[in-house]
């Protein structure tokens, strides 16, 4: 069917008036997704200097290069953060100058956390090296392992999330998700020495709390058991929905652990394909045979009755 550009434009404009919810017209601008992606790439350059650069970084130019990169991040990120501050529930200002001042303070606080983040990321790289016999050296892990990019970006996003910066943290982690196949919400709290082997298909929810020295394999889901609704039938936001995973836990491929009251006890092992909706004590080994859930004490080898544990009701 023949049509003109004018006809197409008219039909689209009519749809903008008729179909609500997916338009943003006559409203303040939102953060630029492209700029946030570029910000993630610049953050990786700061966190792993020399690994995400086309040219080598001379030691005698390190201070100058680092200063320039921080200046660029402050300049670009404060503009994007200022755009989001209007979305905060406690936002009392629409004045662009005031919003930029607030944004600069938040950005400087965030960038001030980068040295501490580097310490955490070093433990993550070490965990990958110790946890994967195929890993030859740190260079291979930093350059080739998707988990390091996903974790690095999530740790940065988590800092902004804790500063109550709207939207940007989620754009960052969804970029990492698209890049690596690893979906970690910026709200998830993750301890040191964290390793995701292979990584594809891993999902970690917003209210997850993960301890130190935890190892996950591909396809693992740390998710919500159900979604409570209010009196109007709308899903309740902000409640604790995702499990806690204590220190030293290993979760094997395609295991699913659900529920905000579910805790995986310290030094436990969750076998492949396990579907778990209840807390288990420390030093447990969990497997499934068919639909039968089996829990063993790793020290004594004795079988634990799943019904004897505190079964959460979410």
Instruction: State the pLDDT confidence band at 93, using cuts at 50, 70 and 90.
Output: low
Is residue 153 scored above 50 in pLDDT?
Answer: yes
**180-237 pLDDT per residue, tens:** 999 999 999 999 999 999 999 999 999 999 999 999 999 999 999 877 778 887 888 8
SS3 37: helix
**From start to end of 44-173, where are the E strands?**
none
Answer yes or no: is 190 within a domain: no
Answer yes or no: is 145 within a domain: yes
Q: Which one has a higher pLDDT value, 310 or 183?
A: 183
**9-45 pLDDT per residue, tens:** 999 999 998 888 888 877 778 899 999 999 999 999 9
pLDDT at residue number 306: 64
Q: Among residues 138, 202, 174, which one has the least CA distance to residue 36?
A: 174
Domain count, the chain: 2
pLDDT at residue number 94: 73
CATH code of the domain containing 250:
2.160.10.10
Considering the domain architecture, whether residues 45 and 168 belong to the same structural domain is answered as yes
Considering the domain architecture, whether residues 159 and 217 belong to the same structural domain is answered as no
Contact 310, 279 (CB under 8 A): yes
Structural domain boundaries, residue 290: 201-314
pLDDT at residue number 229: 79
| Owner of token pair 């995400």 | 52
When pLDDT is averaged across residues 108-126 and rounded to a whole number, the result is: 97
Is residue 165 scored above 80 in pLDDT?
Answer: yes
Considering the domain architecture, whether residues 260 and 131 belong to the same structural domain is answered as no
Considering the domain architecture, whether residues 227 and 154 belong to the same structural domain is answered as no
Is residue 161 scored above 50 in pLDDT?
Answer: yes
**254-281 pLDDT per residue, tens:** 999 999 999 999 999 999 999 999 999 9
Considering the domain architecture, whether residues 154 and 42 belong to the same structural domain is answered as yes
Considering the domain architecture, whether residues 257 and 152 belong to the same structural domain is answered as no
Considering the domain architecture, whether residues 52 and 162 belong to the same structural domain is answered as yes
Cβ-Cβ contacts under 8 Å for 192 (sequence gap 6 or more) = 120, 123, 124, 212, 213
Is residue 177 scored above 80 in pLDDT?
Answer: yes
Share of residues in the chain with pLDDT > 70 (%) = 95
Answer yes or no: is 188 within a domain: no
**94-114 pLDDT per residue, tens:** 788 899 999 999 999 999 999
Task: Please report which helix (H) or strand (E) contains residue 253, including its range.
Answer: none
Mean pLDDT of the chain: 92
When pLDDT is averaged across residues 128-132 and rounded to a whole number, the result is: 96
Answer yes or no: is 20 within a domain: no
């Amino acid at each position: 069917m023949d049509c003109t550009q004018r006809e197409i434009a008219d039909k689209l404009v009519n749809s903008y008036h008729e179909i609500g919810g997916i338009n943003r017209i006559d409203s303040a601008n939102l953060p630029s997704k492209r700029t946030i992606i570029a910000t993630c790439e610049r953050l990786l350059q700061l966190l792993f200097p020399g690994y995400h650069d086309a040219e080598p970084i001379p030691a005698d130019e390190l201070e100058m290069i680092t200063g320039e990169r921080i200046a660029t991040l402050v300049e670009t990120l404060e503009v994007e953060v200022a755009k989001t501050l209007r979305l905060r529930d406690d936002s009392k200002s629409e004045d662009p100058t005031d919003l930029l001042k607030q944004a600069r303070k938040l950005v400087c606080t965030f960038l001030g956390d980068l040295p501490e983040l580097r310490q955490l990321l070093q433990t993550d790289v070490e965990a990958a090296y110790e946890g994967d016999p195929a890993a030859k050296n740190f260079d291979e892990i930093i350059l080739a392992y998707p988990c390091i990019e996903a974790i690095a970006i999530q740790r940065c996003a988590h800092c902004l999330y804790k500063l109550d910066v709207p939207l940007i943290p989620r754009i960052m982690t969804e970029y990492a998700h698209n890049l690596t196949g690893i979906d970690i919400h910026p709200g998830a709290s993750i301890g040191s020495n964290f390793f995701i082997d292979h990584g594809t298909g891993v999902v970690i929810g917003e209210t997850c709390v993960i301890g130190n020295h935890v190892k996950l394999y591909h396809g693992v889901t740390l998710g919500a058991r159900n979604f409570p609704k209010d009196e109007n039938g709308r899903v309740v936001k902000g409640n604790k929905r995702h499990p806690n995973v204590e220190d030293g836990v290993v979760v094997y491929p395609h295991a699913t652990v659900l529920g905000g009251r579910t805790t995986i006890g310290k030094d436990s092992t969750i076998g492949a394909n396990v579907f778990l909706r209840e807390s288990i004590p420390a030093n447990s080994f969990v497997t499934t045979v068919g639909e039968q859930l089996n829990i063993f004490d790793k020290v004594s080898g004795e079988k634990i009755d799943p019904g004897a544990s505190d079964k959460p009701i979410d």
